Amino acid sequence: MGPLRENGELLFFPIKNEEEAIIFVNGKRLVLNDGLAHLTLLEYLRGLGLTGTKLGCGEGGCGACTVMLSCYNTVKQRTVHRAINACLAPLYSVEGMHVITVEGIGNQHQGLHPVQETLCNSHGSQCGFCTPGFVMSMYALLRSSKEPPSHEQIEESLAGNLCRCTGYRPILDAFRIFAKTDNTLYSYNASTNTSGDAKVICPSTGKPCDCGERVGNDSKDIGTSHPVYKPLSFSEVDGSFYGNRELIFPPELLSRKPHPLYLTGPRGMSWFRPLNLQDVLDLKSRFPDAKLVIGNTEVGIETRFKSIHYQVLIAATHVPELNILRVKEDGLEIGASVTLTELVDTLKQCIAQRDAHETSACSSFVEQLRWFAGIQIRNFASVGGNICTASPISDLNPLWMAARAQFNIIDCKGSVRTVFAREFFKGYRKVDLRHDEILLSVFLPFTRQGEYVKEFKQAHRRDDDIALVNAGMRVFLEQKDDAWSIVDASLVYGGVAPVSLSAVKTEVFLKGKPWTLQTLQGALQVLQHDIIIAENAPGGMVEFRQSLTRSFFFKFFLCISYNIQQKTQVLLGLPNSYKSAVDPYKRPSSKGVQSYECPLNGTAVGLPVVHLSAKLQVTGEAEYADDIPMPSNGLHAALVLSKKPHARIHSLDDSAAKAVPGFQGFFTAKDVPGGNDIGPTVNDEELFASELVTCVGQVIGIVVADTYENAKIASKMIQVEYEELPAVLCIRDALRAGSFHPNSERFLQEGDVDKCFSSGICYKIIDGEVQIGGQEHFYLEPNSTLIWTADGGNEVHMISSTQAPQKHQKYVSHVLGLPMNKVVCKTKRLGGGFGGKETRSAFIAAAAAVPCYLLRRPIRITLDRDIDMMITGQRHAFLGKYKVGFSQEGKILALDLEIYNNGGNSLDLSFSVLERAIFHSDNVYEIQNVRIKGNVCFTNLPSHTAFRGFGGPQGMLITENWIEHIARVLGKRPEEIREFNFQKEGYVLHYGQKLEQCRLQQVFNELKESCDFDTSRKEVDKFNSLNRWKKRGVAMVPTKFGISFTTKFMNQAGALVQVYTDGTVLLTHGGVEMGQGLHTKVAQIAASALGIPVNSIFISETSTDKVPNASPTAASASSDMYGAAVLDACEQIKSRMAPVAAKNRHTSFSELAQACHMERIDLSAHGFHATPDIGFDWRCGKGKPFNYFTFGAAFAEVEVDTLTGDFHLREVDIVMDLGNSLNPAIDIGQVEGAFIQGLGWCVLEEVKWGDPAHQYVRPGHLFTQGPGTYKLPTVNDIPLKFKVSLLKGAPNQRAIHSSKAVGEPPLFLASAAFFAIKDAILVARKETGHEGWFVLDSPATPERIRMACADEFTQPFVDSEFRPKLSV
């Protein structure tokens, strides 16, 4: 950049950099060219071909883009290694630093790093898309730690990484070998990797030994043992080394002094990096609207998702005056550029070195920052940036205000003024800073004797989540004899107003008052009217947020009171049962147990073989659709989407888009060469809306340009004029309007329901409604397709992220008017699917096919996370209306049920989802008289679609709700009612199928013994009697899940097996690998069939030109069907080889293969399988829709904070009947992953639409469009004790090698957590006089939990039957 001043005058022209801008990537020196100021580090790395670093969300919320950044700190004289989100880091912000990606630490050819190796061998990677991020988070922790980290540090380091497949347990187990030795590994509850005789892993050696207790004589987990890894060496420059191939910190960067930067980007963008405060001020004077950037965690979101373009960015990262961290006698001076991680480290030092009474505020900041975003964000985000963003839900600003912090502000002339934090925030995103001023530093005073500061926060999820409501509270007390009086108080709330808000009236009320219960009650009364949230306030949940303001103050009072009692023995009249309300949450390290047997079948079937792609995934070498190199003449696409839920299109204007650089075309319905009508079951959709749009996010057209950035810009410049029409936005709206999809009603009846109800034999007849919200798939890999033409446009080829390549082939051939034999779709692997890529990915590929075909140029389309969530549909929301009659003993006599699902604006698979919900509406219970009516509602929302379970979980959750209703009416435990009504062998289900091999009771009995339910119940009851504001609950829930596509023709599969003369086998089948281990299981089946090792089998990809007409990889049936098809092909080849094998003894399979080839034996075979003896006739309501059933049961114990709705899972125990497992390690992973995904559905993940329940959201728009607003479970949401057992000695005669399907059945078992929460709430309600049955909608978010715990803090706002709003 050069000097900004010459002869005292500010220079107003660009000056070239004195030195070239450089960056080191994986040890390689690279020069950063000018013109790249718009790029993120992630975009740059992927442009280099380092595609192991993934784009999962683009907002720093999933961790898939994690890399390690190293820079030399000249003040500390050491190198700092830290994990960061590459998707947020501006490229130029890492100039002069070393970036290490997953490719830089190990690969298949040169060897894996221990972090990669242990994750691979511990089955910690399924779909693999998130895996590089986990590897790099762990790697950065190890490189930055001189000593082995603790278990807690490991879990904390992974909190910013999301995984949708594994359930996290195997990832934690894998990384624990890097931790300090922990004797708890010797205990029963330790996770085991044992060998045959059930020995535990020794914490000292990492190998099986006899030093600890055995898990059980029949518990087997044959896996790979690993050494306990410890650093080989450590230096202040390079950090910790775990091998001899670690990349050192580049010596050039050690001696290189930072220099000023002036670089540019497109659209007149300028990037400055000054090195001193004066230059910052000069730049600010020259460019008053310039944005100061440190971590880019806010600006990055604004530019990516809000389309804000900043002309001038000033990186203030290298300015010493803004990076000061000085401990003074009376407080701490903190520079505005100090990162949150640096702040925490300094605060912890103060806490350790100073008197406790001085560091109350320091402790509160440390505790609040513990739950602030992920470690990657804290490593990069700055104190000043967080303050000046002025977010109304900032976690820190209420604390700065309450703790009497002062902000030092400097103007461009160098004048400094000081403002108290509580006077700094002026309005929504407005602060007391003029255009010519910047925040220089913050002064945080130490607390005085008798002064206490406390933080509070409640979010949807504890870790890495923005607050719903937070608070910073301070009180200064003075002791007079045995009494304490309030000298000063400060109560500041976030999330209740456009700005962090002080409860001024309450503060005034408190001053001078004695610290007593009477004062508490008075303050609560004042507070109720002091903090008032408008009814239509953004974010909704008004009643919940209001109640939290009172709950937080009550907690604050308790906290200070117990502190006083402990220090002075002055009693304030508080019962001991209140104390747990303020006990700090300290999550112990979670533990897992897996119990199963391994009945070996042949060379491979039954073994816990590691996922075939695991090594590729942990090294980042595994290719996904968006990783495929772009052809040189390729174009990028962006969709033009409707902004109205229901409207007529009047006109389209693309004139402004044509002016965008790189624009190549805009294509609409009139440009489609073939048919514009599409749909998976009926063609009730349009590829491009021609006249009407029926939802927000419906595709109107597609723009293509030379870069994705230009395509996005151009797509937003397409002007669409609408005539708005009335919209139906929820199930209840649809019921009122009679809005249903044509011919979508289903009806099933068994017995005579009306006669039973009217006969008088029912002891009671109850009725009720069950609302179940939707769920976003949130596969980590967004939808992506690369499509191109060949042979002059005569052929079309594509690589797609899809569960159904055949559907892509069909859609593309239809819209282009080509025969299917000229269209090929290939899929190597998916970064997760869960049903979301079964049908809703096809229209995206078809849209890209149009410009590809017309322009004869390759097109890539990869959806941004927010667009993917908005347009591709979700799990169906359901409404169930039940009427149930039962005996005095609890025997179910009759069920009359109406169920409705929200299908959205097209039928898609909603009809089939409804059918499965009807089939599963008995769950596991005998019901002699049944009547079920269902219908698919048409709404003006994007079409909802398949999701793991496919309607089954919704049907069963409705059932379990009325089962619990019966139990509460009769005063019995729900578990009693469940077991009393269990179906038994030979029972004929309500749709006519006879129950065979029913192992329900066996599974339930084993679970009861495993979890020791009676003891757990007694311990929970005891805990609840001793604790008023914390409550525990337990529940046991069974499941029965039917295996097969309910549409008969789809139950077929094909495979192609080819044996080569070297004895290796190339295997292709119609199924898609999406993390579930399908390829691995199929390879094991082939290996065992041919008598060869698994590593002789290779599966390259799924392709429509190898196996035609394949059904989607769905319905949990893929291993059954494709495994049988592969076995068929292998048996054909074996039968051909048999005569040759009989003639001579061959020493190897390769020798036999060569001999067969010489005899002209065909070593290629096509195998086929059609599931036998299934079919259902809806006309008579009878048949056999399922091949067999998978049974399971789960126990859950939870602890609930009744004042906030916060909860955690203390224990989960699962028993699954999976027959003879093809691969027990993969099956265990599926059970754990399904459970945690189900946990999200039941208690965490809430979808919010712009509907009558959420009027602060624009009509028809999706509010929860990314990880910032939609909360998946994290590593810290899994159970503290997580045990999974597979039923032993239970072969299944109706599937390949006596196995059973596993993908979907365990998901519903997470409802055990839901009903355990309800059990805890029941106790809390009883203590306030609200006994008996109550409604708890799903998901049971903190809002629903807290408001159901009706007490004196909720009573001013709602009654005890209040139901928070839900998008259904």
Active site residues: 1304
Q: What is the DSSP letter of 1069?
A: E
Q: Where are the beta strands (DSSP E) in 887-954?
A: 892-904, 929-938
Peptide bond preceding 1339 in cis form (omega within 30 of 0): yes
CB-CB neighbours of 175 under 10 Å: 27
What letter represents residue 179's amino acid? A
CB 763 within 8 A of CB 779: no
707 Rama class: left (phi>0) / alpha (psi -120 to 50) / beta: beta
Distance CA 410, CA 404 (A): 20
Helices (H), ranges, 328-359: 340-353
Distance CA 560, CA 1240 (A): 35
Q: Which two tokens stand for residue 98?
A: 């070393």
**Backbone dihedral angles phi then psi of residue 488, each to the nearest 5 degrees:** -155, 150
For residue 641, CA distances in Å to 704, 845, 909, 1124 come to 14, 15, 22, 43
Distance CA 1062, CA 1040 (A): 46
First to last CA, the chain: 56
The DSSP-derived string for 1009-1032 is HHHTHHHHHHHHHHHHHH-SSEEE
The DSSP-derived string for 817-850 is T--GGGEEEEES--S--TTTTTSTTHHHHHHHHH
CA angle 1127, 1132, 1133 (to 5 degrees): 100
H or E segment and range at residue 169: helix 169-175
Distance CA 81, CA 239 (A): 8
List CB contacts of 1155: < 8 A, sequence separation 6 or more: 1140, 1144, 1146
CB 870 within 8 A of CB 1111: no
Distance CA 208, CA 220 (A): 12
CB contact burial 1201-1226 (16+ within 10 A = b; e otherwise) = bbbbbbbbbbbbbbbbbbbbbbbbbb
CB 864 within 8 A of CB 58: yes
Coil, strand, or helix at residue 1203?
Answer: coil
Token look-up 């708005």 returns 724
Q: Which two tokens stand for residue 748?
A: 């099933």
Distance CA 557, CA 560 (A): 5
The DSSP-derived string for 67-129 is EEEEEEETTTTEEEEEEEETTTSBGGGGTTSEEE-GGGT-BTTTB--HHHHHHHHTT--SS-S
Query: Nearest CA to 1153 among 1165, 1140, 1135?
Result: 1140
Coil, strand, or helix at residue 778?
Answer: coil
| Cα dihedral 252, 253, 258, 261 sign | positive
The DSSP-derived string for 1298-1342 is GB---SSGGGGGGHHHHHHHHHHHHHHHHTTT--S-----BS--H
